[in-house]
Amino acid sequence: MKAFFEGIQTLFVDFLFKPLDFLRSLELSNWWLANIVSWALVLICFKYIIFWCKELKSHKDNNEENQDTTAHSFLK
């Protein structure tokens, strides 16, 4: 059983985390490039927030949104 968990450790430490180790070592020379994963996640979240706001506006413009306080059964 110990060999199984050591195999998982080897997989992650020696193979899957190598790109992140490279980004960590890059931080001293180029901060922007070292944080590229964080910036990518920020941009993805920003895109979906804009998408969600557009969808909410389109439902509100079509009067499809139920703003009644009893819209949910637990609020009756």
pLDDT range class, residue 7, cuts 50, 70, 90: very high
Residues 6+ apart with CB under 8 A from 26: 33, 34
Please give the angle made by the CA atoms of 72, 75 and 76, to the nearest 5 degrees: 100
Q: Is the pLDDT of residue 70 over 90?
A: no
pLDDT, one tens digit per residue, over 19-53 is 888 888 888 899 988 899 999 999 999 999 999 99
- Residue 46 pLDDT: 98
pTM: 0.62
- Residue 3 pLDDT: 95
Measuring CA to CA, how many Å separate 51 from each of 35, 40, 42, 56, 62?
25, 17, 14, 9, 17
Please give the angle made by the CA atoms of 67, 53 and 70, to the nearest 5 degrees: 15
Going from N- to C-terminal start, the domains of the chain cover: 2-63
